[in-house]
Amino acid sequence: MSFDSLGLNADILRAVAEQGYNEPTPIQRQAIPVVLSGRDLMASAQTGTGKTAGFTLPLLQLLSSASPHPKGRRPVRALILTPTRELAAQVGENVHDYSKYLDIRSLVVFGGVSINPQMMKLRGGVDVLVATPGRLLDLEHQNALDLSKVEILVLDEADRMLDMGFIHDIRRVLAKLPAKRQNLLFSATFSDEIKGLAEKLLHNPQEVSVARRNTASEQITQHVHMVDKKRKRELLSFLIGRDNWQQVLVFTRTKHGANHLAEQLNKDGITSAAIHGNKSQGARTRALSDFKDGNIRVLVATDIAARGIDITELPHVVNYELPNVPEDYVHRIGRTGRAAATGEALSLVCVDEHKLLRDIERVLKREIPRIAIDGYEPDPTIKAEPIQNGRQQRGGAGGGGRGRTASGSGPRGQGGNRGNGGDRSQSAGGQRRQGDSARSAKPEGSSSGAARNKTRQRRSNPA
């Protein structure tokens, strides 16, 4: 099947052809006609499936085929919400590329950068706005933005937005939108919470789905190395050297852990950088482009910071520490084995993480093969300890988080697998930053209920 048969206009097809896409991906084949028909859409697809073009191409077509722009300032007609800055930037890039031959203006707004240039650009008129929720609300509060003319709303990675505690922000945004509009919801997973949101948001939606990465995992070879916690770094350096890996994305649970590991790998002579929410936007962008360009071999990332990172044919993903939430494992390994490429996902698992591994295998519905490496076998006398989520480190780092957990509150923005690196830190105001601590204090393996509690804490003091 070719793109020509999907009903897209010549200007869009030209831009698509310039991207080098020969044929639509499954999600594009399914989603594009639905969006063009004007119906609401509930799509199950994650990053790497081509979902962005799946909603962007028809959205651009709908906007460009509608009546010409009214005189005066262009109102925002399509709003795309994403959970993280990285994803916003990538979606914005795609919108820009695909609208190359259209009279469509687009803008990306997220926090962590000055708000004034964004306000100026909005004043000039924007048709498609890609935004993270925090900054969008900041702009709205400052009257820099009129959302009353939005015709199409896209919630991208809706599951992640809820995980990150954005539900209240989303509700606030929804309240600013006109009732009559088209809604598109994309999510990798469909928890009850997402279904609840979809029920309220979507009207008679068409549902489409593509295989999740964990079911299409033939492309991804998964392995577990059982190894003592203290020897993980050594084993990682050994594997990188032995197999001469040139591009490895490594996940840690905490920001501190990411920094520490990157430092240690650099000392081992393996060029590395860390990417997480405490890094400035500039540093994050730089690290990502150095990694993409091959200037550094290892990018150490926290879960949220890595969301939406799109690196073609990323060959190696390493779970230096298993995520607390099994679904994050699926998201993590989804960074590799994209398109036609095969990838390898390796998990270094210590005795503390056996339960996390069992939870992951339950979600995957299969056991991940274990590999033993001579000299790195775990010491059977070492007993499991509770997972600390970074709270044991840097006791004075952030003045203490608001959130509390079974294992106590921790330094701000250091703990937890959720929220480290997310949009919260983008906001100019201090309150949202505190949200980091609330989220980061998530108990091990806690569910969305805890996320909801944290959301309540966080938004009780809106910026």
Q: What residues line the site for ligand AMP (CB under 6 A)? A: 21, 24-25, 28, 47-53, 310, 312
**Residue whose C-beta lies closest to ligand AMP:** 52
Tell me phi and psi for residue 87, to 5 degrees.
Answer: -65, -40
Distance in Å, CB of 50 to ligand AMP, minimum: 3
Tokens 């890039």 locate to 93
What is the number of other CB atoms lying within 10 angstroms of the CB of residue 167?
A: 22
Q: What tokens does 420 get? A: 């480290």
Tell me phi and psi for residue 273, to 5 degrees.
Answer: -145, 155
Nearer to ligand AMP, 29 or 424 (CB): 29
Distance in Å, CB of 452 to ligand AMP, minimum: 28
User: Distance between CA 424 and CA 135 in Å, rounded?
Assistant: 9
User: Distance between CA 3 and CA 24 in Å, rounded?
Assistant: 6
Nearer to ligand AMP, 81 or 350 (CB): 81
Distance in Å, CB of 378 to ligand AMP, minimum: 37
* 142-160 burial code (b ≥16 CB/10 A, e <16): eebbebeebbbbbbbbbbb
Distance in Å, CB of 21 to ligand AMP, minimum: 4
